């Protein structure tokens, strides 16, 4: 700056001196004015060049303007670069912040002071059915028309949050959202949403479970209490006493079966998945299932059922023997309990064309209507409650079967036609089944024959 002032003063002195020499005092004044005009014109040109450079925004091509103007341009460029760097850092932090909100499992919607959507993450778009581009700056009330949400949005002080139906809600596939509204800034609102469908379903299942268990236990307890009171207060002959004691034993057995099934379910849900260290011979399991099924049929049916068992290939299954036996026995017990006396019940262990293996139980009972099939594996779900009471079922058998099959990586398939009977099949993956030496060729032959029969029937 001092150099610039010195240069300007030197130029004035030179111009004044030259004007004095040419035209005395008047010439000196003109010389000083001329130097000032030229000096200002040069500064104006340099200033215009600097302004055009700044307008272009290209900080890499700095014009050569002279010492003072070069220093001014250098300082300006450093300030612009510092500002750009700070802006970039702020933008990076903002992007990271938005990415974090975008990855949140909760929905986030930013609303301005008029209720227009300024920004929302993908989770919120899924929850409410928003389009991330089309619905920006749309009023939230025009997009979310649930009356519960409308009442909450207009009067949020009445409740800290509200549960409403979400996008895609239907009777078969419910979607429930927990919604919060928080004020921030100047009149703005933050809308948070969380999918609580699973939580509500778990609560409903817990309530239903407690209600069902209470109901199932209350009935036999009432019967037992009545018989005990009768035995305590009345004088009965031996035949009546025996009849009452037999009925009490039946109700006690019913409660014992219920508690046993509940403990089995609890054990299945809390145990680690079956490992690869235990191999279960299927023929031994099938033999035990056959013996138990024939005994049950003799006890419940007169005449007994016509039971047909096909042991199929000799195999070993990787899994827990007690769990597999429980699942297979439950399918057989259900078939016997719900099939009229004297009719056919068959069980078969076989290899499938796709390399998997299945245990199939087929009965000739009354069959099950299609609307009941999706819910058969729910706890305590019964197609006919009065029929279940007669047969002594607890309503937990198929739930146990489903858990066992899932723990062994398999699949439970159910097919039923009203009036024609039902078929229940446990399908296990090939990596859990090992053919015993000597049966591999026979199994392959049977598989080929099954495939040929299937092709012939389709043709």
Q: Helices (DSSP H) in 339-396: which residue ranges?
A: 385-391
- Residue 304: what are its φ and ψ, rounded to 5°? -60, 160
What Å distances lie between residue 409 and 43, 135, 218, 319, 406, CA to CA?
85, 44, 37, 10, 5
- How many structural domains comprise the chain? 4
Ranges of beta strands (E only) in 253-340 are: 279-281, 306-310, 315-318
Q: Which residue has the tokens 């040109």?
A: 45
| Whole-number pLDDT of residue 453 | 47
DSSP 431: G
pLDDT given at position 220 = 83
Last residue of a domain, one of 66, 98, 130: 98
pLDDT in the model for residue 106: 93
Q: What is the distance between the alpha carbons of residues 106 and 99, in angstroms, rounded to a whole number?
A: 13
Q: What is the dihedral of CA 301, 263, 196, 130, to 10 degrees?
A: -50
Residue 331 exposed, middle or buried by CB count within 10 Å (0-12, 13-18, 19+): buried
C-beta atoms surrounding 357 within 10 Å: 24
Same domain? For 211 and 290 the reply is no
Answer yes or no: are the C-beta atoms of 404 and 285 closer than 8 Å.
no
Same-domain pairing of 448 and 306: yes
Please give the pLDDT value at position 1: 54
Distance of CA 325 to the CA centre of its chain: 32
Residues 16 and 75 in one domain: yes
**Do residue 450 and residue 360 come from a single domain?**
yes
Model pLDDT, residue 384 = 66
**Same-domain check for residues 301 and 398:** yes
The pLDDT, as a whole number, for residue 457 is 43
User: E strands within 88-210?
Assistant: 107-111, 117-120, 161-165, 176-184, 188-195
- The pLDDT, as a whole number, for residue 200 is 87
pLDDT number for residue 458: 41
With 0.75 as the threshold, say if the pTM is over it: no
If asked whether residues 442 and 335 sit together in one domain, one would say yes
Please give the helix or strand (H or E) that residue 159 lies within, else none: none
What does the alpha-carbon distance between residue 420 and residue 15 come to, in Å, rounded to a whole number? 122
What pLDDT score does 396 carry? Answer: 85
- Say yes or no: 136 and 153 in one domain: yes
**Planar angle of CA 107, 108, 114, nearest 5 degrees:** 130
Are residues 83 and 232 both part of a single domain? no
- Using the 3D structure, point to which of 195, 222, 239 is the last residue of a domain: 195
- Cβ(187)–Cβ(160) under 8 Å? no
My answer on whether omega of the bond before 303 falls inside 30° of 0, hence cis, is yes
Q: What is the CATH number of the domain that holds 116?
A: 3.30.450.20
Q: Which of 222, 241, 268 is the last residue of a domain?
A: 268
Mean pLDDT by 10 residues, the chain (459 residues): 64 71 73 74 74 69 66 75 86 87 91 93 93 91 92 83 90 88 90 92 80 80 87 84 87 85 83 83 93 90 91 92 92 92 94 93 92 86 60 75 93 93 94 76 49 43
Q: What is the pLDDT of residue 71?
A: 67
User: Which CATH number do you get for residue 353?
Assistant: 3.30.565.10
Q: What are phi and psi of 256, to 5 degrees?
A: -65, -40
Q: Give the structural domain span for 31.
A: 2-98
The CATH number linked to 218 is: 1.10.287.130
Tokens 């001092």 belong to residue: 2
- Are residues 50 and 114 both part of a single domain? no
- C-alpha dihedral sign at 447, 452, 456, 459: positive
User: DSSP label at 121?
Assistant: -
Q: Do residue 67 and residue 25 come from a single domain?
A: yes
Alpha helix (H) residue ranges in 301-366: 321-338
Shared-domain flag, residues 54 and 142: no
Pairing of strands 344-351, 306-310: parallel
- Asked whether residue 313 falls in the same domain as residue 374, the answer is yes
Backbone torsions φ then ψ of 163, nearest 5 degrees: -105, 130
């Amino acid at each position: 700056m001092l150099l610039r002032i010195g240069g300007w003063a030197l130029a004035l002195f030179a111009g004044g001196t030259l004007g004095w020499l040419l035209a005395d005092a008047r010439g000196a004044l003109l010389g000083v004015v001329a130097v000032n005009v030229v000096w200002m014109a040069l500064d104006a040109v340099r200033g215009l060049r600097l302004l055009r450079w700044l307008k272009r925004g290209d900080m890499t091509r700095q014009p050569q303007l002279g010492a003072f103007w070069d220093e001014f341009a250098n300082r300006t460029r450093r300030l612009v670069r510092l500002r750009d760097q700070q802006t970039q850092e702020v933008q990076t932090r903002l992007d990271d912040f938005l990415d974090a909100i975008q990855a949140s499992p909760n929905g986030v919607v930013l609303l301005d002071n008029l209720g227009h959507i300024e920004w929302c993450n993908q989770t919120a778009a899924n929850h409410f059915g928003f389009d991330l581009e089309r619905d920006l700056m749309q009023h939230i009330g025009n997009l979310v028309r649930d009356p519960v949400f409308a009442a909450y949005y207009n009067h949020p002080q009445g409740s800290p949050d509200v549960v409403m139906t979400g996008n895609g809600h239907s009777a078969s596939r419910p979607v429930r959202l927990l919604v919060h509204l928080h004020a921030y800034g100047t009149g703005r609102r933050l809308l948070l949403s969380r999918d609580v469908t699973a939580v509500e379903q778990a609560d409903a299942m817990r309530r239903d479970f407690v209600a069902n268990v209470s109901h199932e236990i209350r009935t036999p307890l009432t019967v037992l209490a009545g018989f005990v009171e009768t035995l305590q207060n009345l004088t009965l002959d031996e035949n009546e006493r025996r009849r009452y004691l037999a009925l009490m034993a039946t109700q006690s057995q019913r409660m014992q079966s219920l508690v046993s099934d509940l403990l089995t379910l609890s054990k299945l849900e809390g145990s680690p998945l079956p490992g690869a260290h235990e191999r279960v011979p299927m023929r031994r399991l099938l033999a035990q299932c056959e013996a138990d099924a024939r005994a049950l049929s003799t006890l419940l049916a007169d005449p007994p059922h016509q039971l047909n068992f096909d042991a199929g290939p000799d195999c070993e299954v990787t899994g827990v023997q007690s769990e597999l036996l429980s699942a297979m026995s439950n399918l057989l017990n259900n078939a016997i309990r719900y099939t009229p006396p004297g009719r056919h019940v068959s069980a078969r262990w076989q290899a499938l064309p796709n390399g998997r293996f299945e245990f199939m139980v087929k009965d000739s009972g009354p069959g099950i209507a299609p609307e009941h099939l999706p819910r058969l594996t729910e706890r305590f779900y019964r197609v006919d409650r009065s029929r279940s009471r007669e047969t002594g079922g607890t309503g937990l058998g198929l739930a146990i079967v489903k858990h066992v099959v899932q723990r062994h990586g398999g699949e439970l398939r159910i097919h039923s036609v009203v009036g024609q009977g039902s078929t229940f099949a446990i399908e296990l993956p090939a990596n859990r089944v090992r053919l015993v030496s000597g049966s591999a060729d026979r199994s392959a032959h049977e598989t080929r024959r099954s495939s040929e029969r299937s092709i012939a029937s389709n043709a």
